[in-house]
Amino acid sequence: MTRRYFGTDGIRGTVGQEPITPDFALRLGHAVGRVLKERDANPLVLIGKDTRISGYMLESALESGLISAGAGVMLLGPVPTPAVAYLTRAQRAQLGVVISASHNAYPDNGIKFFNAQGAKLPDAWEHEVEAALDQAPQWVDSAGLGRARRLDDAAGRYIEFCKSTFSHALSLRGLKIVVDAAHGAAYQIAPMVFHELGAEVTAIGCTPDGLNINDGVGATHPEALVRAVRANHADYGIALDGDADRLQMVDAHGRLFNGDELLYVLAMDRLARAGVAREAGLTGVVGTLMTNLAVEQALRGRGFDFVRAKVGDRYVLEELNQRRWLLGGEGSGHLLMLDKHTTGDGLISALQVLQACVQQQRSLAELLAEVSLCPQVLINVRTAPGADWQTNARLQAETAAVQDELGEGGRVLIRASGTEPLLRVMVEAGDAAQARRCAERLAASVA
């Protein structure tokens, strides 16, 4: 079945345009509340948000819709997406709601959901909500209305959860760390986590004004972090995105490490601590169609199985659950460690990487000495919403020609973004100039 509103990561769009409007959010909240009431007489829903100015508007509308259907609401305020997942479990709530457009700029916003276990909900649930949206509202009477309250110290509870994933036998004392929260949901939480574990912290991207989220900072603009690490003579830099579920890191030399490299570090650290991968249940790692070929080859060389999921952390999670594996992730920095959290968490991922460095007394570059990434070039081409790029004859011809040129030494991947009207063109080759030239040819054929 085709979904009208839900994409690969909830509902997302431009504020003021359907479906990111207050009237739709009211209807959505009511529809979700009705679906929950069919399973539980007194459902509780947690609502968290990032720092976008539109978050207040959507929060109020969702809250009203849920209450009008008889669902209780607990407001968390600005907290990271993975904090909502954790607190939904901790508070024994039936649903967690996140108001965020992740790495997008402030004119966009979105709404996504977690189930009672803190995991993404299946397609069937989204279809059920969309069906409820088509029905006339059924307002409950005054006695049946839900109640709303605010969770005191939501941020503090999540900080303690993050710290609990870091070894109690270790600390970050002696390390200087620059933390970039992208003026987003972790602007208060992220610096505190690393500070309380002993690090000397310099914060950038931690002064949100409602309009500057992801603006030239954060995981999607790591050049700001590279400059700050060098200027402050820091040991490491940590960049999160607007809702803090993805991570990029920088070392003292200003070298940037993406999610593919960090995933390899996490796998090797667990292998070092467990001894043998299969004896520890670490039989495999899940990447995506975008995962660098060098990382796949390195993991296989150390005894791990490796599979590629479709791009999107929900698809990585599906593969992990199906295979009962623990580790997976994307080059964008969505990293999953299912023995630590139910969803991708930029802060916990950073803590696990730093723990590996401290435990082994080796730098990130040293931990990745045997991995040399294949050059990848990714070009985003803006398209008209709903454009059928798959029937573009010129693109098909150029793709065939590029694949012939690359042979077995390279890859082409073309896919539509699940969150924006963009076509993502990726070329991987043994030579960076060739990868750039081929990617530009493909992008030009679309434009």
Does residue 113 surpass a pLDDT of 70?
Answer: yes
Q: What mean pLDDT, rounded, does the chain reach?
A: 94
Helices (H) and strands (E) in the chain, counts: 14, 18
What is the distance between the alpha carbons of residues 170 and 351, in angstroms, rounded to a whole number? 11
What is the distance between the alpha carbons of residues 173 and 190, in angstroms, rounded to a whole number? 16
CA distances 420 to 103, 107, 235, 383, 415, Å, are 11, 12, 35, 9, 12
Does residue 3 surpass a pLDDT of 90?
Answer: no
Q: Which residues contact 334 (CB under 8 A, 6 or more apart)?
A: 245, 246, 259, 313, 316, 344
Average pLDDT of span 65-77:
98
- 135-161 confidence digits (pLDDT tens): 999 999 999 999 999 999 999 999 999
Give pLDDT, residue 273. 82
Catalytic position from the list 64, 102, 332, 349: 102
Rounded to two decimals, the pTM is 0.91
Give pLDDT, residue 256. 98
Q: 39-48, 125-134, 374-383: which range is least confident on average?
A: 374-383
Give pLDDT, residue 391. 87
CB neighbours (10 Å) of residue 279?
9
Examine the residue annotation and report whether 363 is marked as an active-site residue of this protein.
no
Give pLDDT, residue 446. 85
- 397-432 confidence digits (pLDDT tens): 999 999 999 988 789 999 888 767 889 999 999 899
- Please state whether the peptide bond connecting residue 19 to the residue before it is cis, i.e. omega within 30 degrees of 0: yes
For residue 55, name the pLDDT band (cuts at 50, 70, 90): very high
Average pLDDT of span 105-134:
96
Give pLDDT, residue 1. 58
Closest CA to 204 of 184, 220, 156, 101: 184
Give pLDDT, residue 312. 87
Give pLDDT, residue 279. 53
Closest CA to 47 of 22, 92, 26, 78: 78
Domains of the chain, earliest start first: 11-155 (3.40.120.10), 172-256 (3.40.120.10), 259-367 (3.40.120.10), 376-446 (3.30.310.50)
What is the distance between the alpha carbons of residues 221 and 213, in angstroms, rounded to a whole number? 11
Does residue 280 surpass a pLDDT of 70?
Answer: no
